[in-house]
Amino acid sequence: MSQPKLSQRSWAVPAALLAGDRRALARSISLIEHGELAVGVASEALAAHLGRAHVLGITGAPGAGKSTLVHAMLGELLARGQRIAVVAVDPSSPISGGAVLGDRVRMGEHGAHANVFIRSLATRGHLGGLSQSTEEIVDVMDAAGFDTIIIETVGAGQSEVEIMRVADTRLVACAPGMGDNVQAIKAGILEIADLLVVTKSDLPGSDAAARDLKDMLHLRPARSAIQWEVPVLKSCANTAQGVAGLLDAVAQHARVAGVGQRLKARRPAKSAVALDSGALVMQLASSDPFAQALGIRCVDAGKGHATVSLTLQQQHLNFNGTCHGGLVFALADSAFGLASNSYGKVAAGIDAHVTYQQAARLGDCLQARATEVSRSRKLAVYRVDVTRADGAVISSFTGTVYITDIDIATAAADAPQETI
Ligand SMILES: Nc1nc2c(ncn2[C@@H]2O[C@H](COP(=O)(O)OP(=O)(O)O)[C@@H](O)[C@H]2O)c(=O)[nH]1
Ligand SMILES: [Mg+2]
């Protein structure tokens, strides 16, 4: 187990950042990227300066033409007088690898423009998790006064779905003629799309790809929050054909959904800063390799409670196509473990009981919330409810821990540790 890094718990927002200074911006982003600020600190400090920018998330299979499309969009948005920032997130890229460099090259011509700022994130599993740090970096860009912030990410798994949640408008890109490309758009990704785009419309098969996507749209459950019908558009980044129309559709979605929408979905500022145990739990969650491997992330935490979430992917299913019971247990157990360790002393699970009420399926977003039922000096009991996004209870879990005298920080530093 890696040792949780001690990070700064407060941050004085540089005035130069708010004035849009590029060096201050780059430095602030580095602090987050390298885990020098504790999770939530940057967003908390910037709270009064957020909500001006429109955040556009773009995802799709590798090679779908996302970076090239972003480049074409930059040209069009610059012509419209905008200042634009881009975050390119590719968890599969090695630090000095081709894709990160390639993205810079592809967006390079506009990257040198004074009104454009491009940052490729080399993601090395820092504290706080990928979506959390992306969210905070987007906040920094928002505070620096950009009109549009574009997040490019590879649509391959759970972390990408989470990253796309950071955006106000989500665009899924799909190239024609790659038979299984449409298949590559996972259920979870399709579910969060606000716009679907067939890229490379100069290539054969773009009409068929558009038809496939329209068909797939019928499969996704209706969303009632706003009046918005997901359009399927076509673009050719090489000639910029369709790019202006695409950006018009993005702007229209911004109007319908409301700019700054991403901030409304956040929980009220009960931040990691104000709540030391919350920050501790967030750090524990992001340095838990098992939870990370399953795609479990902590969304809320404090003394004696924790909430974790996960969107069901193919690898979470069992042989009959429903969610694996072991995963539900792991999700509930993660919330249990975080809540019971939130006081800073190692708490060892000694008993757990779980009931399964309903099945969950591909694309479902599950949450497990652990709350403390009772606590004495040596024992504590927790209850965990696992729910689906529609509120249905999937599973109930109760667990008991034995509370040791060992500080969590010490235990982590002594790893590999003897277990009790
Ligand atoms: N024919 C054609 N090729 C394109 C277009 N857009 C991108 N490409 C090519 O598709 C490949 C992948 O593009 P890239 O933007 O790196 O894809 P990403 O991995 O989704 O970011 C590159 O070789 C591009 O030159 C297009 O509109 N038409
Ligand atoms: Mg790319």
| Ligand 2 center from residue 126 Cα (angstroms) | 21
Q: What are the extents of the domains in the chain?
A: 15-264, 276-413
- Looking at domain 276-413, its CATH superfamily turns out to be Hotdog Thioesterase (3.10.129.10)
* Res 150: pLDDT: 96
Q: Rounded mean pLDDT of 206-214?
A: 89
pLDDT on residue 223: 63
- Would the pLDDT of 153 be above 80? yes
Pull the structure tokens for residue 219: 């499969």
Residue 317, strand partner residues = 323
The span from the CA of 157 to the CA of 48, in Å, is: 33
Nearest CA to ligand 1 atom 3: 200
100 C-alpha to center of ligand 2: Å? 8
Q: Is the dihedral of CA 337, 340, 344, 349 positive or negative?
A: negative
Mean pLDDT, residues 163-175: 89
d(CA 142, CA 130): 18
Q: Is 300 helix (H, G, I), strand (E, B) or coil?
A: strand
Q: Which tens digits make up the pLDDT trace of 360-414?
A: 999 899 999 999 988 888 889 999 999 998 888 999 999 999 998 888 877 765 5
| Cα 365-371-372 angle, rounded to 5 deg | 160
Per-residue model confidence (pLDDT) at position 96: 37
Ligand 1 and 67: CB distance under 6 A: yes
Ligand 2 center to 131 CA (angstroms): 18
Whether the predicted pLDDT of 356 surpasses 50: yes
> Residue 278 C-alpha to ligand 2 middle, in angstroms?
35
pLDDT of residue 97: 36
Q: Across the beta sheet with 345-356, what order do the strands follow?
A: 297-302, 305-311, 365-375, 379-388, 393-407, 345-356
Residue 374 makes CB contacts below 8 A (sequence gap 6+) with 380, 381
Q: Is there a contact between 333 and 342 (Cβ–Cβ < 8 Å)? A: no
- What's the rounded Cα separation, in Å, for the pair 17 and 99? 28
- CA 342, 348, 351, 353 dihedral sign is positive
Residue 207: what are its φ and ψ, rounded to 5°? -65, -40
Whether the CB-CB separation of 24 and 11 falls below 8 Å is answered with: no
pLDDT at 224: 58
Is the shortest distance between the CB of 237 and ligand 1 below 6 Å? Answer: yes
DSSP string over 354-387: EEE-S---TT-EEEEEEEEEEE-SSEEEEEEEEE
Ligand number with the minimum distance to the CA of 174: 1
Q: What pLDDT, on the 0 to 100 scale, is given for residue 38?
A: 84
Do 237 and 219 form a contact (C-beta atoms < 8 A)? no
pLDDT confidence bin for 80, thresholds 50/70/90: very high
Lowest mean pLDDT among 234-238, 253-257, 284-288, 368-372: 284-288
| Closest ligand 1 atom, residue 71 Cα | 15
The mean of the pLDDT values for the chain is 83
Per-residue buried b or exposed e for 15-45, using 16+ beta carbons within 10 Å of the residue's own CB? eebeeeeeebbeebbebbbebbbbbbbbbbb
Tell which CATH classification among 3.40.50.1220, 3.40.640.10, 3.40.50.300, 3.10.20.30 matches the domain 15-264: 3.40.50.300
- Is the Cβ atom of 243 under 6 angstroms away from ligand 1? no
CA of 408 to the centre of ligand 2 (A): 40
pLDDT at position 414: 59
Angle formed at CA 389 by CA 388 and CA 393, multiple of 5 degrees = 30
Going by their DSSP bridges, the two strands 195-198 and 169-174 should be labelled as: parallel
Greater pLDDT, 99 or 174: 174
